[in-house]
Amino acid sequence: MAEDMAEMVAAARPTRASLEVCPLTPTLGAEVRGVRLCGDLSSATVAAIRDALLRHRVVFFRGQDHLDEAGHEGFARLLGPLVPHPTVPPVAGTGTVLDIDGEKARASYWHTDVTFRAAFPQFCVLRSVIVPPIGGDTLWADAAGAHATLPPVLRGLAEQLRALHSNAFDYAQTRPGATARHGRYHADVFASVVHEAVHPVTQVHPLTGERALVLGGFVSRFLDVTAAQSKYLLAILQDHVTRPENTVRWRWSPGDVAIWDNRATQHRAIDDYGDQPRILRRVAVAGPASVGVDGRHGVEVRAGSPGAGETVQPATSARMR
């Protein structure tokens, strides 16, 4: 009878679907094959995709051109509650689909999505619609692996630092080759409402417990150090995150889908495709506020202020301790 009971318990346990997961580098990125993404995948398949995502940090799926906006949202919802972008309106007829059109703006700088909010996305699901024949690839960098490979002295420093993140910054300086239209879009849409948040530079991952560096292009400055010190420290840490051996590059085809762990990576779109059309759509899965190694959470210090394209001046550390 005990053996029968054991068999019944084993049969009742959820199982993991068997997926073909092909790593793209030794540490970051994998292509997942043999899956048709949709909103009614089995729980075992979703669990297997999540496992691959947490292990490889970014996973890619070819040939998903059957997805439309509703199917995109339906699949992403299997990973968790969806959250719209805080300033950019969603694609018409959807609640959360973000239009990424190279004619409007180009995020050709390293960043982690929406870190200017205290609770920023856990996962992001990006789908290609129109891609240029040459160029327009996307790079990802391993922010968790970067923390693990920091020299111990720098790792200890990174675990003490906190940083101010903002969606209002000098777009022309960040992208010197940006067109006037890109600059207007940043000022009038992306930074129309200014958000600021303070995060621990080293975050404890909410699902894996790993430690990862939360940096990227939305960092305005570090707290409790001078502006000059902040600039140099940021350059040292950011360069470590994005060194070539810490990255993976994806060449898009129409219908590709990428899912990344937004709490363990940075990414960057390469602006090398001239005036060719490039349109992708992104859906974000909600995540909790960041948590540092000392247990302190990320906090919102400014939300909902009219931006009108202003560039935020770094706040004093006394204001945000």
Catalytic (active-site) positions? 111, 113, 267, 282
Query: What does the buried/exposed string (b/e) look like for 218-246 if buried means 16 or more CB atoms within 10 Å of the residue's CB?
Result: bbbbbbeeeeeebeebbeebbebbbeeeb
Interatomic CA distance for residues 240 and 146, integer angstroms: 6
Question: Tokens 């030794």 belong to which residue?
Answer: 26
308 phi, psi to nearest 5 deg: 50, 35
* DSSP-assigned states of every residue in 51-72: HHHHHHSEEEES--TT--HHHH
Task: Take residue 287 and report the two structure tokens written for it.
Answer: 């995540």
Structure tokens at 48: 């297997």
DSSP state of 109: S
The DSSP bridge partners found for residue 111 are 267
Q: What is the spatial order of strands in the sheet that 299-306 belongs to?
A: 219-222, 162-166, 193-200, 299-306
Calculate the alpha carbon distances from 249 to 142, 168, 317 in Å: 12, 28, 37
In degrees rounded to 5, what are phi and psi of residue 161? -75, 150
The three state secondary structure string of 155-173 is: HHHHCCCEEEEECCCCHHH
Give the Cα separation of 53 and 28 in Å (integer).
10
Could you give the CA distance from residue 99 to residue 88 in angstroms, rounded to a whole number?
Answer: 9
Pairing of strands 219-222, 257-261: unpaired
Are β-strands 219-222 and 211-213 bridged in parallel, bridged antiparallel, or unpaired? unpaired
